[in-house]
Structure 1
């Protein structure tokens, strides 16, 4: 019997090391950032068995066979739809300024999406303003409502939005709602999900979380976009999930979430609607492309362009990351960034440092208290390097600052769903707007400065005096930063 146990032990050890060797070879042969590969090798070797399982679950960008095949087949028809926007009067090279023209070239060449003029923007900076505006537009809807969100959490004005959708469906409006499975479990268990489906709303649980799918699809791949499109005439996007912060994560110890939403009218609405249609087809297989915008409209000379920049599996790799890098390289005077989760890639870190080192004022505003302790420690591991390069770091102490925004030279801005971490820039379904509108950008600039007034700026000399305890945990979670 002892010989049998001895044999099984040796066989198990041998099998495990063959498995480790195979996974190591796979990690090494994958073409990706060296820091990511090293981080995974560290996890695999330091945490026996569990490390290998983690790699199978989270190590590769695996959308799943069925969704991946849909995305492959979809790319051409959606690409044709996007390319036709280049013939629209809303896309004119004469209307593109210095900052957005290069971004237009990049997005047009990689995805076929051009920057479009003729839009009007409204910035909502409070949850009450955002949600009441959404409710009002839903109540005016005549034909269609499309929504996609990472989180929908019942309570407060979020319930009023759900009630408005039910009433819209009852009067004949076609309502399609796509919610991420991991982000919205409370909503799918609530009575609202049953009531909405009972009213005829098509409610879909995106990227369903299931233990049976562990080896079929990467479980932490999430639908992180926030889009509302109503009658292809009005759209919303921004950082805010479908939640009322007064009823959301009240026991997390970080305060209420601070978010923005942007209300849009004009040709860009149709593009955001098409992004929703893309997500809907990836998840369900059903294709319902929106109409093209009215291309015979006269575009005012002072109507500045908007570039919609989507990213995610099936779309061009790292498109939003490229736009972010390109925007910062064009900065001449200032770059101001707000992000709740700051765990940059090596390339993004170097871009930030280089921008500051060439004399551009770089302000980074992040929350002092984060709902992810690992991210909070990992973020601080970059402070010394950034401070030495001349970047000013502001820790916001008025709640969980969840706004994702970049303002360049107080003339151009990026707003959307994208965090400055590997997950957003490489993995999730995301969307951002590149906006070259002086009035809107000035509003964003003023908002960012209001965040700074409620922040504590990190003093470089004092930061160097922090305890060994803090340094240890910073370095520990820094090692895992490509995986956060």
Structure 2
């Protein structure tokens, strides 16, 4: 009897701690309560290791003050769009969205940019390698995944060559995403003169109880003039060389112009957060001419900030839509607010189309995504599964006025836990290109029909319920 009472008190204590520590995110708290209920001791141990709120302690990205935003000497080279003039051309709802975007710190809307969009790995890596070869002053790279395979070694050789030429090369990889990358690969880079950092190494992140918070960004900045961002990591599978996935459909972008300064700023903040090395100098923000007219705002989010900027941007964008919302995401696990925003948009007559993969990357994630579909389909949202291969792009298009391309998936991990970076684009040419790509993706997809979907087996529905209960942790 005594042991039973003791176990009961211990269990109640576990539940109480989960509730107390997780009050900021009720959805995630319910997921951890489910795990703790099903696996009392193991579940609480996992919670202790993985669920520490990044904002409730001074973790690695808060040990140092952030790199100062560009000084007046540098910002004189940037043409920041005047929001009051820009807002006047749009509807009241869209002006509210623009008003929100104006409030995002350290991310003004720049209007002197050139954008090139790539929709597959071959085009992307060809452009990246060519740009790296042209570097004259510095190369800054930050990736979630780098693999020691054919394309990974090709990138390695280019970086080593440039470092030996005297180019300042800095490379940062995520400790979990690139955990399979052997030290020999990184050691060869270091020996060639490349500065290498690992963001939140796996062992240290376990000790700090921060293993759940990963740097999912993909950034390249060359000479402070050319930048790349998007969904493509460095690995052969992104070139369609995986026997499981086949063709890999993704979206990446090359940017030249004012927005590159803020891409640079994001990299320097992340670099400084790892080792405290503040390297911001004027040489990293060189003067440049106006290379184009595209308007871009870079939106960075992560657990080191007091807001969830990309989540808030998505929510505002969905509510600002008039005609259409087009979404591509390999992982679709929206929180309740985004779910309601998409439902109300569809119910109000907005055409909402969402493309997700047919081939599962993570089976539990696919089940979780399916658990949200019926509710949305009843409201008029249309879902499509991509058949040509694996679709990994992260795209949102609102009407024909706004598009978002970047690293953030439409899931709660990207929106609340990961360090992510998206580009909000106000450029007719780029948006039209993204719309054409979306239409082509639809031709390579099949629509999920409501009648067929509702008749799926009870066992499948049961799997989806379980996946839904823990979906905030996936």
TM-score by length of 2: 0.91
- Structure 2 residue 121 is the aligned partner of structure 1 residue 127: yes
Counterpart of 1:92 in structure 2 is 82
- Structure 2 residue 134 is the aligned partner of structure 1 residue 143: no
Per-residue CA deviation, residues 214-269 of structure 1 (Å, 9 max, x unaligned), is: 35232121110000000000000000001232678835x33343212100000100
CA distance in 2, matches of 1:476, 1:445: 35
Match of residue 272, structure 2, among 256, 261, 281: 281
Q: Structure 2 vs 1, CA of residues 80 and 174 (structure 1 numbering), >3 Å: closer, same or farther?
A: closer
Match of residue 362, structure 1, among 352, 364, 382: 352
Q: Structure 2 vs 1, CA of residues 68 and 196 (structure 1 numbering), >3 Å: closer, same or farther?
A: closer
Match of residue 60, structure 1, among 52, 66, 69: 52
CA distance in 1, matches of 2:388, 2:281: 40
Shift of 1:316: 3.4
Does the 8 A contact of 1:274 with 1:290 survive in 2? no
What are the equivalent positions in structure 2 for 1:251-400 lying under 5 Å apart? 253-289=244-280, 291=282, 303-400=293-390
CA distance in 2, matches of 1:25, 1:343: 27
Counterpart of 1:165 in structure 2 is 159
CA distance in 2, matches of 1:298, 1:371: 41
Shift of 1:371: 1.3
What are the equivalent positions in structure 2 for 1:11-22 lying under 5 Å apart? 17-22=8-13
1:117 match: secondary structure: strand
Q: Structure 2 vs 1, CA of residues 55 and 408 (structure 1 numbering), >3 Å: closer, same or farther?
A: same
Q: Structure 2 vs 1, CA of residues 439 and 250 (structure 1 numbering), >3 Å: closer, same or farther?
A: same
Q: Structure 2 vs 1, CA of residues 101 and 276 (structure 1 numbering), >3 Å: closer, same or farther?
A: farther
Shift of 1:82: 10
2:356 match: secondary structure: strand
Shift of 1:31: 3.0
- Structure 2 residue 199 is the aligned partner of structure 1 residue 206: yes
1:414 match: secondary structure: strand
Shift of 1:314: 1.8
Counterpart of 2:210 in structure 1 is 218
CA distance in 1, matches of 2:405, 2:127: 19
Q: Structure 2 vs 1, CA of residues 203 and 328 (structure 1 numbering), >3 Å: closer, same or farther?
A: same
Q: Structure 2 vs 1, CA of residues 280 and 296 (structure 1 numbering), >3 Å: closer, same or farther?
A: closer
CA distance in 1, matches of 2:252, 2:288: 29
Counterpart of 2:169 in structure 1 is 175
Match of residue 42, structure 2, among 21, 44, 50: 50
CA distance in 2, matches of 1:45, 1:452: 42
Q: Which moved more, 1:241-250 or 1:307-316?
A: 241-250
Does the 8 A contact of 2:80 with 2:110 survive in 1? yes
Q: Which moved more, 1:283-292 or 1:416-425?
A: 283-292
Structure 1, unpaired ranges of 5+: 1-5
CA distance in 2, matches of 1:250, 1:198: 31
Q: Structure 2 vs 1, CA of residues 255 and 15 (structure 1 numbering), >3 Å: closer, same or farther?
A: farther
Aligned length: 467
Q: Which moved more, 1:31-40 or 1:161-170?
A: 31-40
2:28 match: secondary structure: helix
Per-residue CA deviation, residues 37-59 of structure 1 (Å, 9 max, x unaligned), is: 22221211221201101111222
CA distance in 2, matches of 1:228, 1:197: 18
Match of residue 185, structure 1, among 161, 168, 179: 179
CA distance in 1, matches of 2:125, 2:152: 7
CA distance in 2, matches of 1:158, 1:276: 20
Per-residue CA deviation, residues 260-290 of structure 1 (Å, 9 max, x unaligned), is: 2100000100100110001101111111225
Does the 8 A contact of 1:116 with 1:267 survive in 2? yes
Does the 8 A contact of 1:325 with 1:348 survive in 2? yes
CA distance in 1, matches of 2:206, 2:145: 22
Q: Structure 2 vs 1, CA of residues 60 and 245 (structure 1 numbering), >3 Å: closer, same or farther?
A: same
CA distance in 2, matches of 1:296, 1:144: 16
Counterpart of 1:28 in structure 2 is 19
Shift of 1:107: 4.4
TM-score by length of 1: 0.89
CA distance in 1, matches of 2:241, 2:362: 12
Does the 8 A contact of 1:149 with 1:180 survive in 2? yes
CA distance in 1, matches of 2:97, 2:156: 36
